[in-house]
Amino acid sequence: MTEFLSLGPNIQCNLKFSKDGKKYFFGNAHVVGVVNVESSSITSIIDFKQTVRSIEVINDTTIAVGTERGIVELYDLEQDKKTRIISIGEYPIINIKNYENYLLISSPLRVLLITLEGKIIEDISSKILIETATLFGNQKNEFPSIAYALTDAAGTLVIKQGTNEKRIPGNKTWVTALCQSDDLTRVFVGTDSGKVYVHQYPSLEVESVVSVSDLRISGISCHGNTTFIASSIDCSIQFFQLSDLWLSTVRLGGVGDERYIRFSFNERNRILIALTNMCHLHGWKLDSSYTIPTQIVLPTGHSQAVSSVELYPLPTIPSNLAIISSSLDYTIRLFVKNVNPDNKTQERWVEIARPLVHGYPLSQAVLINNPIRVLTSSIEEKPVRILEASKYFIESLRYITRSNLSEKDMIYYEKSPIGANHQPLSLTNCPLREHTGSSRQSQVQSPTKLQYDIKTLVIPDSDELPVEDDITVASVPKVYMTAPPEEELHYHTLWPETNKLLDQQSEVTHIAPTSTS
């Protein structure tokens, strides 16, 4: 049995839910990952031999995939069969839109409307780069209109049906996203000024202007006739509902420096997944009124090449195994098997810690025993860094794996740093310790680094402000009862750096600990 543990998304490819909402698809380099929503596990990986740039769901068993080399293929999930339907040349397929029995295919300088068999119905070429394109349906069951946005000085939106063509100038703002309501009576036009223009359709009269953000709208999705979702590169996703005016009912965002650039929402299970510019997937489940979001755990994974991966028996918990991996995406990740207390036969690998989020691509990470430590090297720097498991990691490990440690181990880790904090413009994870003294007296000087008092970071209404201005509450370590979601992994599970090996004269490409390490 093949088990897929780690696969991160690529920011060049979109996200898509299946029609029934039971799985979703995302791209990573030349493969498409298929994720089961209920188990939150990667069920299969489909190799297309070329960089995947766009995904569209045709029905419950078929998806369409566009590649970097301008090829569109249909893939049958049940028969594991690929069928090439068209090749448009050297330009990448930046988007595919399914409308009944037609596919709209867009590339930087070309838009095509074809049948599922590959027959070309409409072929539009442009000398100006095309930002986005979609299909607008018509209530009279007429042929759909092709809408595409140009990156000219005026930001022109072109709507074409047969020989009829309308050009709508964009008031010097580019159109960046397009969507149509379910009843086909409204179209939503997102711009690089952060506004969404709501037009009546097909008259195209402006009905309202919704100010979403001060920055570019990166995506729009329509649900029903009175709800739309908009994402912006200001790190937010907002739900808007019509109640005399378009009002924001919930805002998702504020995840550090990450920006949501793509998202997908399924109405059946009310789950929204979002992709950030750092190649991380975030997920929420919303209530029926779209006002209360609950964060959910999604499969995590490296977004670039994995440079090392090792399987270790945990020295403190021999009955459980750990996988540690390093990658060119600057991270070290640690996976263990999560035991279901209600059904112990249901186990799956989950990421429970990200000991290092570095500034350079990492070449290797190895785990050594007693205490649990990680040795890691980078492609672009000479030191070998040594990270030690934190107290909060050990406590999280016990909860997630349903395991106990020896009394000797617990005494050791009880005195360990609870976690680490990453200072701005630094490559070092600084230890954070618990302390019972006052916040002003809690800063302890070390010969090599500062150690911070966690009490000054978790009491925002304290009369005494923290001394450490560059430490933020967002990166305070936590203890987890279940596998952490992406946001928590990236900011709350760092391990403290305890030492560096600096004697080598060049970059270290391989580390091999002895059996007695």
DSSP string, 203-240: T--EEEEEE--SS-EEEEEEETTTEEEEEETTTEEEEE
Tokens of 87: 């090749």
DSSP H or E segment with residue 400: helix 391-401
DSSP H or E segment with residue 171: none
The gap from C-alpha 225 to its chain's centroid, in whole angstroms, comes to: 28
For the ranges 104-118, 192-206, 275-289, 335-349, the lowest mean pLDDT is seen at 335-349
Nearest Cα neighbor of 42 from 3, 81, 1 is 3
Q: CB within 8 A of 147, min separation 6: which ones? A: 133, 134, 135, 136, 157, 158, 159, 160, 178, 187
Q: Where along the chain do its domains lie?
A: 126-299, 306-501
Quick count: other Cβ atoms within 10 Å of Cβ 284?
A: 19
Quick count: other Cβ atoms within 10 Å of Cβ 488?
A: 15
Distance CA 370, CA 403 (A): 17
- Residue 4 carries which DSSP code? B
Tokens of 7: 């696969």
Tokens of 74: 């249909």
Nearest Cα neighbor of 477 from 455, 490, 493, 489 is 493
| Cis check: omega of the bond before 496, within 30 degrees of 0 | no
Quick count: other Cβ atoms within 10 Å of Cβ 413?
A: 23
Residue of 130 and 301 predicted with greater confidence: 130
Residue of 197 and 422 predicted with greater confidence: 197
Q: Mind listing the pLDDT tens digit for each residue in 255-270? A: 566 788 889 999 999 9
Q: Mind listing the pLDDT tens digit for each residue in 314-351? A: 766 666 788 999 999 899 999 998 766 665 556 788 89
CA–CA–CA angle 301, 307, 312 (5° rounding): 75
Q: Mind listing the pLDDT tens digit for each residue in 115-164? A: 999 999 999 999 999 999 999 998 777 788 999 999 998 999 999 988 89
Contacts 24+ apart (CB under 8 A), 310-314: 310/365, 310/366, 310/367, 312/367, 314/372, 314/397
Looking at residue 6, its pLDDT comes to 80
pTM for this model (two decimals): 0.82
105: β partners: 96, 112
| Cis check: omega of the bond before 108, within 30 degrees of 0 | no
Residue 224 falls in which region: left (phi positive, over 0), alpha (psi -120 to 50) or beta? left
Residue 204 falls in which region: left (phi positive, over 0), alpha (psi -120 to 50) or beta? left
Question: At residue 460, does pLDDT exceed 60?
Answer: no
Can you tell me which residue has the tokens 């030191």? 383
Quick count: other Cβ atoms within 10 Å of Cβ 330?
A: 18
In single-letter form, the type of residue at position 170 comes to G
What number of residues does the chain have?
A: 517
- Residue 315 carries which DSSP code? S
Compute the average pLDDT of residues 452-462.
36
Distance CA 217, CA 239 (A): 13
The gap from C-alpha 180 to its chain's centroid, in whole angstroms, comes to: 25
Distance CA 393, CA 399 (A): 10
Query: β-strands 227-232, 236-243: how paired?
Result: antiparallel
Q: Mind listing the pLDDT tens digit for each residue in 408-451? A: 888 888 889 999 987 777 778 888 887 533 333 333 333 333 34
CB-based contact 488:478 (threshold 8 Å): yes
Distance CA 390, CA 367 (A): 14
Distance CA 133, CA 175 (A): 10
Residue of 512 and 383 predicted with greater confidence: 383
Contacts 24+ apart (CB under 8 A), 204-207: 204/159, 204/166, 204/168
Looking at residue 315, its pLDDT comes to 65
- Mean confidence (pLDDT) of the chain: 85
Q: Calculate the alpha carbon distances from 147 to 111, 144, 177, 178, 362 in Å.
A: 10, 10, 11, 8, 44
Sheet with 245-253, strands from edge to edge, namely 217-223, 227-232, 236-243, 245-253
Distance CA 482, CA 328 (A): 27
Class of domain 126-299: mainly beta
Compute the half-sphere exposure of residue 477: CA atoms within 13 Å on the CB side of its CA: 34
Tokens of 263: 């998202």
